[in-house]
Every structure is written in C-alpha cells, then in structure tokens.
Amino acid sequence: MNDSLPITEQENPRSARLDELSPLEIVRLMNEEDALVARGVERVIDEVARAVEGIVGRMSAGGRLFYIGTGTSGRLGVLDASECPPTFGVSADLVQAIIAGGYDACYRAVEASEDDRAAGGRDLQARGVTGADAVVGIAASGRTPYTAGALQHAQRGGAFTIALTCVPGSELTRFADVSIAPMVGPEVITGSTRLKAGTAQKMVLNMISTATLVRLGYAQGNRMTNLSARNAKLQERAVRIISAEINTNEAQARAFFTEANGDLRVALLMGKAKVTRAEAEQALATAGWIVGKALDSISQKSTESRKLAADDFIP
C-alpha cells in the first residue's frame, strides 16, 4: 500500500485477487466493504449537522444551495438536486447542481474537464452565486482542480462553503467553512470512487438536502406535504397524505385534491383551515408555499378576528 497516495487511490489488500473470485465471492466482498460506508458516515454526523445549520441560515435569508463537482461526484450532485423539486415542491432554482463539462457529463465521461481549475469559479459565476448562497464542493479525493477552484471562488465571495470528500485534510477542505470527510477506505477496484466513496457521498447529500428542506418547513412530520404530484403514483400518495393529515376518508381527501386542481399544498390548507381554494392559494403565496407557515398565518388572522369581534361587544 502506497501511503503517499490519497486513501481513495490506494489498493485494497482484501480485493487483491478479485479476478480469481467467483461471482458470489466478488459480490459478498463488495457487500462487506459497503458495510464500512455507513460507519464512516456516522463518524462525521456532527459535521453534516453543522453544514445543514449553515445552509438553512443562508436559505432562510433568501440564499440558494449549489452542488459542484466532476465525474461521479458531479453526477451525484445533479441527482440529489434534481430530486428536490418533486419531493419538496421547491423551485428548481433553490437547489442547483453544476457538473464539469455541463449536463452532457451526466451520461458520458468528460473527465478531462476536471483539470481546469479556473472553470469551476467561472461556472459558479455564470449561475450568479453570491455571498448569500451555500456551495457544496464534492470530490472523493479532495484534490480535483475544478472543484477546489470552485470552492475557493465561492469562499472568496463570502458564500457558506462545504467540502464533501473522503480524504480528511485534502486541498478541498482548505476552502470550506465545514469539511465532511467520511473515511471509507480503499475501493474494491483501486481508485474506482463510484463505489464506496460514491455511496458515502450520496448518503451525505441525501442528509443535507432532506434535513435542510425539512427544517425550512417543506414537510410536516415525515410526510411530503409539498409533494409535486405529477403522475398517477404520486397523485395516489398525495390523496393518502391528505387523508392522514386532515383525518378524513379517501373519498373526501380525493375531493379536496380535485378541488385544489391537484395541488397538494392547497388541498391540505383547504382541509385543515376550512378555507376556499382562493384563500388557500393566497395564504400559501404569502408564506412562500410552506404549508405550516400558511396555516399559522390563517390561524393567527382567525384569532385576531375573533378578538376584534369580542371587543366590539364589550359594553
């Protein structure tokens, strides 16, 4: 083992004779190695929580969240960002992903683009990233020039910066307010960071986006109350959420959903606050389309109206 190399590039002695193993032995070995990923992520949970707190702070003040990376790391950022609008009903602008080489790199390798250090900063600049935003640089080795250059640019501009890597103390961490570096060890195929390192990065990105958007109010309990119901499966899920949230039967839940023109947020507010669709839409627009905030606003107005009415009858 060459200790001068990042751990993501070192050889794994357990898989040294991988090509001599049977299919069962190969997949069993991979499964055993994958079991190390969750443990590695567990050791950096505090850092993940700090990152979430910082991102929530920026986004609460109107900022956005950006992921940036190359190759597998960049693709994982694109995957996580693309899931936020349908899951949480947020604008596609709120959580964005940038991958070296552009979106063509999502389905074909353009790995040479990762060597252009200045390109990372230019790509952030093209998206209008400012000091109000949060930027997560994703690089398994922590030394990818494109990603390091991007995070350095973001830090200089005052953005809240997070390094997501599998090599503690790597260059990427120098430009981060919070460094998240789960140690997962060498890969079964030497240097193939789409394996354990990629799995660790995906786990952390899931945590970051989910915890952030839940804290911002885009879920109630563990239910996707801002779900964008764009197909039959999601429409049925929306009906179940309405039924559970307002404690009614399926038929009534479906009626609310239909009356709300298929907008789960509107249906929930109509059912919970006993308001019209127009009133629900207005309250949601004022509350940034967050169901809990809109409900609180309607409840407060109702309380104030009752108090005023009571005051009118005081002799």
Q: What is the pTM of this model?
A: 0.90
**Calpha distance 232→235 (Å, rounded):** 5
Averages of pLDDT over runs of 10 residues in the chain (315 residues) are 79 95 98 96 98 98 97 95 94 96 76 83 96 98 95 98 96 98 95 95 98 96 92 96 95 96 96 94 94 90 56 50
pLDDT at 104: 76
Sheet holding 134-138, edge to edge: 95-99, 65-69, 134-138, 160-164, 178-180
Question: Has 279 been annotated as catalytic?
Answer: no
pLDDT at 31: 97
pLDDT tens digits for 157-190?
999 999 999 999 999 999 999 999 999 999 999 9
Catalytic pick from 33, 114, 171, 187?
114
pLDDT at 5: 85
pLDDT at 313: 47
Question: Has 114 been annotated as catalytic?
Answer: yes
Catalytic pick from 9, 11, 53, 83?
83
pLDDT at 136: 98
pLDDT tens digits for 59-102?
999 999 999 999 999 999 999 999 999 999 999 999 999 999 88
pLDDT at 115: 85
